[in-house]
Structure 1
Amino acid sequence: MLLDAYLRDHFVDTSTCAALAGITVQRLDALIAAEAIPAPTYRCNAGTIHSAAFGSIDTDSQVSGAFFRPECTRWVRIAADAAAGEERAAVVAALAGELAAHLRSCGDDAHRVDAKVAALLPHFFNGTFGLCVADPSSGKGIVRKEVLQETLVALTCNGSNPTPPGVAAGELLTLIDDYADSAMPFSPAEYARSSRKRLVEDLRPRVLSAHQATQAGAA
C-alpha cells in the first residue's frame, strides 16, 4: 500500500529509533513523556493515521505503531547525553541556538528572532517538523523550509496568485523548487491537504501557464 511504502521509506518504528540513538525503548519513551525530544510524527492504528498537524485520518492501511524520522535521532542523542533532569533543556539550547542563527542570517531582527524561535518550538516537540521538513535534524533545515514557505505564502496569497506583481516567473519557479527541496513529500493520507500540493504541484503549472500566455501575448 502507498502509505505503508511511504512510512517504510521515510520513517522508522520505535525500536529502530531507539537502536539508532543507542538507547533502550524504555529510555526513548521516558524522553518523549518528558517532552525532551520530538514526539512520534505519526501514530498509526490499523485503519487510521494520526499526526499533530492533521489529526486522525482514516486509511486502508493495517499498519500500527509509532513512527519517527531517523534524522531526529540526533536530538535523541543530545537528550540522552544530558544530565538527569536536564534533557529537555539541552535539546532546547541546541535547537534554539541553531534556529536563531539561521533566522538572523535571513535578516530577522533580535525581537522577531526570539518570537519565531518560541513559535517554532512547540511544532518541533509535537513531531510536526518530522512530517513537513526535509531535514529536521538541524535548525538550519527547519528554518529554510519555514522561511521559504512563509515567503511563498506571502507572495502568492497562499498559492492562489501565480503572477505576483514585481516577481519574474523564473524567480518564482526557483522559489517553488527551493521550497519543494526543503519540504517533505507528505504521506498519501494527507497530501491533498498539504502545503506541498498547494505551493508546488498546484502552483508550479499555473505559474508556467501564466508565463507562457504572457510570452504569447507579447509575440
Structure 2
Amino acid sequence: MLMTYLYTHFLDQPDFAQQAGLSSAGLRSHIAGRLCPDASYRLDVTLSVRSFVATHDEQRPCRFHLKGHLRWLEQIERLGIADETAARAVFTARYDAARSAFLNGRLGQRLIRAAPNVPDAFDRAHADATWGNFLDGVYGVCTRDGQPETIFLKQAGVMFIEALTAPPAETLTEQDQALLAEAVAMLDLVASDFAPHEVARSSRQRCINDIRARYL
C-alpha cells in the first residue's frame, strides 16, 4: 500500500529531475542552493535477488518528490531564480496573497469572528518556519500539491479548527457546527491523504476524521 501511495502522488528522484528538465546533479544543486524542496520521503530499500546461480542482497536509497513540486520548479526556472532570497520572495508573495484573499473572504471573516487570535499566529517566526519546512519537503507530505497557496490554507484550516474545538468546547451551537463543517471541508480539499502508516498520527485524522466523528 505504501508504494502504491508513493507512486500515485510522487516521483522518484531520477524521474522527478527528468520531468523537471534537470539533470540529477542539477536537481541536487537546486536543493542544496535552497531553491526548491527536498524529497518528502526517503526510503532505504533492500533488494533480494535469488536464482539458481546465486543470491544477492543490496541496499538502495530511494527519494520521492511530490509531483506538484514540478510546478514550483517550472516557475523558478521561468523566472530565472538563482538564489534563495529570490526564491523565498516568490514563495512569500504567493503565500501572502493567499492569506489576504482567504482572511478577507466570507469564510475567513466568519472564522476570525469566532477565533480572533488565529491571524496573529502568522508572524515572522511562523513565516521563517514555513519556508524552512517547505525546503525540507514537509508540505509534500501534508498537502496535496505543495504550493504556497495550499500550504497557507492547510495551516489556516488546522489553526481555526483547533481554536473552534479547544476546551471546553464539548458541544457546539448549530451555527458553530456549520462554521466548523465549512472549515473542515476546506481543509479536506488541501490536506493530503497521507501514507497509510502516517494516517493515525496525521492532521487529517486529528482535524478532519476525528472532528467529523465528534462534532459533525
Indicate the TM-score class for this superposition, using the shorter chain for normalisation: 0.7 to 0.9
Task: Find out whether 1:100 has 2:109 as its counterpart.
Answer: no
Q: Is the 8 A contact 1:100 1:114 kept in 2?
A: no
Corresponding position of 2:54: none
**1:143-162 equivalence runs, <5 A:** 143-157=152-166, 161=169
Corresponding position of 1:17: 16
Aligned-pair RMSD on alpha carbons?
2.9
- From 63, 85, 90, the equivalent of 1:66 is 63
Give the match's secondary structure for 1:68: strand
Q: Answer with 102-111 or 67-76: which moved more.
A: 102-111
Task: From the superposition, tell whether residues 206 and 12 of structure 1 become closer, same or farther in structure 2 (CA, over 3 Å).
Answer: same
Corresponding position of 1:142: 151
- Structure scoring higher RCO (CA < 8 A, sep ≥ 6) equals 2
Q: Is the 8 A contact 2:158 2:187 kept in 1?
A: yes
Task: Find out whether 1:171 has 2:167 as its counterpart.
Answer: no
**1:1-219 equivalence runs, <5 A:** 2-46=1-45, 64-80=61-77, 86-105=82-101, 106=103, 112=122, 114-137=124-147, 139-157=148-166, 161=169, 163-164=171-172, 167-208=175-216
1:86-129 deviations in Å (ceiling 9; x for gaps): 33233211101111222233259899555543331111111001
Give the match's secondary structure for 1:140: helix
- State the percentage of identical aligned residues: 26
Deviation at 1:40?
Answer: 0.4
Task: From the superposition, tell whether residues 193 and 22 of structure 1 become closer, same or farther in structure 2 (CA, over 3 Å).
Answer: same
Structure 2: gaps spanning 5 or more residues: 47-58, 105-117
Corresponding position of 1:54: none
Q: Is the 8 A contact 1:31 1:79 kept in 2?
A: no
Task: Give the number of the structure whose alpha-carbon radius of gyration is greater.
Answer: 2
Structure 1: gaps spanning 5 or more residues: 48-61, 209-219
In 2, Cα distance between the equivalents of 1:140 and 1:92? Answer: 14
Q: Is the 8 A contact 2:161 2:184 kept in 1?
A: yes
In 1, Cα distance between the equivalents of 2:60 and 2:192? Answer: 21
AA matched with 2:27: L
Q: Which runs of 4+ in 1 moved over 6 A?
A: 108-111
AA matched with 2:127: V
TM-score, normalised to structure 1's length? 0.75
AA matched with 1:70: K
Q: How many residues align?
A: 190
